[in-house]
Amino acid sequence: MTNPFDLSGRVAMVTGANTGIGQSVALALAAAGADIVAVGRTPAHETVAGAQALGRRAMIISADLSSTKPVRRVVEETLQEFGHLDILVNNAGIIRRAAALEFTEEDWDSVIDTNLKTAFFLSQAAGRHMLKQASGSIINIASMLTFQGGVRVASYTASKSGLGGLTKLLANEWAGQGVNVNAIAPGYITTNNTAALRADPVRNQAILDRIPAGRWGAPADIGGAAVFLASDAARYVHGHILAVDGGWLAR
């Protein structure tokens, strides 16, 4: 019986794969059989080494995703090396914190450009290739703030809400042409972006008190969801935002 979660022979591009969720997703995809392209400003040497240790081909493409300038190049370099691109995980993202009345235009633009604008145009570039081959999977890394408002993170909330909308739009346009577009909304995960929250004992406890699972999530908790959405097991899943949150939204 064929394993519907087997990704053997597929090429997966993961942005921001040097640490945290991106690294865990890349290694989970590699463990399921995919070759890995790690894209980002910080070279993902550890991630690539881990993928290679699993017997996969893996490469690093250095690119500053705070602008759309490298988008076309990273797709072209992937195709030159592997010949095809089957999975894109838009994980790269940044966050800026300030009260709404104090939020600067610079902090607004920097987050929107990285988290939303580049994610869209990278999806567009990858989508052009996937539509030609009539197959592919795009997975956007959304957030609890795709559903909720949050506080002190105006541009991050806007970017993740927008990413949820784009996930549905691209699914509407491409589902009938063999390309799946979905998103994962991680709950509160122990990453660099949440270090400030975990360092605040009051905020940290308030978060824990609301999570039915009783703990912060680990980056590795996101890997299985990514494998599912990238695989044939999810071939009839389109435009879905999968919360991996320890039950946060259920409470």
The residues annotated as belonging to the active site are: 156
Angle at 132 (CA atoms; ends 228, 137), nearest 5 degrees: 15
- Residue among 207, 225, 199 nearest 24 (CA): 225
- Residue among 20, 90, 29, 16 nearest 60 (CA): 16
Query: Which residues, 6+ apart, have CB-to-CB distance to 109 below 8 Å?
Result: 155
Query: Which residues, 6+ apart, have CB-to-CB distance to 247 below 8 Å?
Result: 211, 212, 213
The span from the CA of 131 to the CA of 203, in Å, is: 45
- Residue among 161, 179, 157 nearest 170 (CA): 179
Residue with tokens 């567009």: 124
Three-state DSSP at 51 gives: helix
- State the DSSP string of 208-234: HHH-TTSSPBPGGGGHHHHHHHHSGGG
